[in-house]
Structure 1
Amino acid sequence: MARRERPQLITDAARSPEQELRAREVRYVVMMLLRAACIVMAAILVAARPPLLWLWLTLCFLGGVGLPMIAVLLANDAPPRAENRLRNRLRRRATSHPDPGHALDEHQHRVIDPD
């Protein structure tokens, strides 16, 4: 069996699609709860009539109208592909030809085979 040049590190592994979907769902629900809080706060402010009511209502309106748009964009956002991540490109270039006679440094990780 042929081995790849560098093993996949668990810290570099991508999250599973289920984990990504769950994180996006949680983010969406939190943003919609913030939107609901803005709407409730606007109703409370109208009843209480505090000083600078126009400013507070404007902020609540922006939260009530702007948050759904941002929430949908973030919920539909996908993580970048591996070939588009700059961090991985730089790491591959720097360690593409490791010296086998060299001691392990911070960029080379010890591989333990199950055999």
Structure 2
Amino acid sequence: MMKRERPHLVTEAAVSPVEEHKRRQHRYLLTMIVRMVLLVVAVLVARANVPLGIVVGVLSAVLPGFAVVMANDGPPKSSKYYRRVVPTGAGERALPAPDGGAMGPRVITADAVIIDENGATLRAKE
């Protein structure tokens, strides 16, 4: 089975709130599992070495506070999960200009148009 390739992120749009909430729940769950493992390790270590067991126990007691702060934190500022599409060249055009050369600034002019509340189009007075 081939490894699924990560999608290209071609927009600056934020991750959906549902997906972000799911990620934060996952992060909180993993942190609490680590806490439970540390608590069991603290009990087992305390039988052989009491000071080390106390240190591991204190670490497992402090971990829920960090888990809550991490779970309530907003979305990350950058993500390694997605690969960003980076333009290859600065100012490089994907398509050549119609005349084959560099295009100057385009100016689009239009007459002023007024649309009333009924949707009728009226020309502006000059």
Q: TM-score range by the shorter chain?
A: 0.5 to 0.7
The answer to whether structure 1 residue 46 and structure 2 residue 29 are counterparts is no
Q: 1:72 aligns with which of 68, 72, 92?
A: 68
Q: Which has the higher helix share?
A: 1
Name the counterpart of 1:23.
23
Name the counterpart of 2:111.
none
Distance 1:16 1:57 in 2: 42
Distance 1:109 1:20 in 2: 36
Name the counterpart of 1:32.
32
Q: Which has the higher strand share?
A: 2
Gaps of 5+ in 2: 1-8, 78-87, 95-126
The percentage of counterpart residues that share the same residue type is 30
The answer to whether structure 1 residue 59 and structure 2 residue 55 are counterparts is yes
Name the counterpart of 2:100.
none
Provide the TM-score with structure 1 as the length reference: 0.54
Name the counterpart of 2:89.
105
- Alignment size in residue pairs: 77
Residue 60 (structure 1) shift: 1.1
- Structure 1, residues 80-113: CA drift from partner, whole Å, max 9, x if none? 7xxxx7xxxxxxxxxxxxxxxxxx7257785xxx
Aligned-partner SS, 1:78: coil
Runs (4+) off by over 4 Å: 106-110
Residue 78 (structure 1) shift: 1.3
Give the counterpart letter for 1:14 in structure 2: A
Give the counterpart letter for 1:105 in structure 2: G
Gaps of 5+ in 1: 1-8, 86-103, 111-115
